[in-house]
């Protein structure tokens, strides 16, 4: 087969220089495009997000199966082609990052999971057609509530585009639902929300439940009564916010302090 030659178009500038120090979800970082490729940036500022293809230069290339240990060490092994693990035969990184601003040859990003010094191979804009709202994926469950809260919060924020009190309430409801019913983005899990629009939007973003094909999401707007109902097979979980429950300090409150919880199976 013909040899493939890749020439970096830039590099990552970041204070994080070791792969094991990179948090899930990435960090703020800068990509410096080499001057000879600056013309290729024309118009890129029209995009809020970009795909960054990079070369994970510190990653081993002889590993074919790994556990997603940083998310949950109790999960089984997967082939690296079934994960986003940075260890793989060709250590090409694929990162979706938010483009904050452009200054000359520098792109200022949020959510980039590439360490300082990483060679950048290519940059592509994120298009609307890249979106698949309810994909089928492996169930990579976080090892604890803190981990899962981070994952679900990011999912809700990407969908809702604003961090508000109802986003945090939706995440809390979703964590409880996952405790009882397992994977939330599943064709056989149905969700009903009664409450404000923001809550419904965040629950839908977390669960990826569509209104049709298959129909597994329904919503009734209400200002005072706030509840979500989650169903899978013969099991039903109803979470009703208790009157007077405060959103402030949500993370420190027990589930029973916030909700009337009814579970039937």
User: How much is the pTM?
Assistant: 0.87
Domains, the chain:
10-130 (2.40.30.70), 145-264 (3.30.1330.130)
List Cα–Cα distances, 129 to 40, 63, 114, 232, in angstroms: 22, 33, 25, 30
Q: Cβ contacts of residue 5 below 8 Å, gap of 6+?
A: none
- Residue 229 structure tokens: 């109902």
List Cα–Cα distances, 162 to 48, 146, 153, 155, 159, in angstroms: 15, 20, 11, 12, 9
Band (245; pLDDT cuts 50, 70, 90)? confident
User: Which tens digits make up the pLDDT trace of 186-241?
Assistant: 999 999 999 999 999 999 999 999 999 999 999 999 988 999 999 999 999 999 99
User: Which tens digits make up the pLDDT trace of 34-77?
Assistant: 999 999 999 999 999 999 999 999 999 999 999 998 899 999 99
């Amino acid at each position: 087969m013909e040899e493939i030659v890749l020439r970096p178009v830039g590099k990552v500038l970041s204070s994080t220089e070791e792969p094991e120090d990179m948090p899930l979800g990435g960090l703020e970082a800068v990509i410096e495009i080499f001057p000879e490729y600056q013309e290729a940036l024309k118009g890129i500022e029209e995009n809020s997000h970009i795909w960054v293809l990079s070369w994970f230069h510190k990653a081993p290339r002889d590993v074919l199966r790994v556990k997603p240990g940083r998310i949950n060490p109790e999960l089984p092994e997967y082939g690296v082609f079934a994960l986003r693990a940075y260890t793989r035969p060709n250590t090409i990184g694929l990162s979706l990052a938010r483009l904050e601003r452009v200054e000359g040859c520098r792109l200022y990003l949020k959510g980039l999971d590439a360490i300082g010094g990483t060679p950048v191979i290519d940059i592509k804009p994120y298009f609307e057609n890249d979106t698949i709202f309810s994909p089928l994926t492996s169930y990579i469950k976080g090892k604890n509530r803190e981990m899962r809260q981070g994952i679900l919060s990011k999912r809700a924020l990407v969908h809702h585009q604003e961090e508000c009190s109802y986003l945090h309430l939706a995440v809390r409801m979703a964590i409880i639902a996952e405790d009882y019913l397992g994977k939330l983005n599943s064709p056989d899990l149905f969700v009903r929300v009664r409450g404000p629009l923001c809550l419904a939007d965040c629950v839908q973003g977390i669960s990826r439940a569509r209104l049709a094909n298959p129909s597994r999401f329904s919503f009734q707007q209400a200002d005072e009564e706030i509840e979500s109902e989650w169903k899978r097979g013969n099991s039903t979980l109803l979470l009703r916010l208790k009157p007077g429950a405060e959103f402030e300090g949500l993370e420190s409150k027990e589930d029973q302090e916030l909700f009337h919880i009814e579970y039937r199976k």
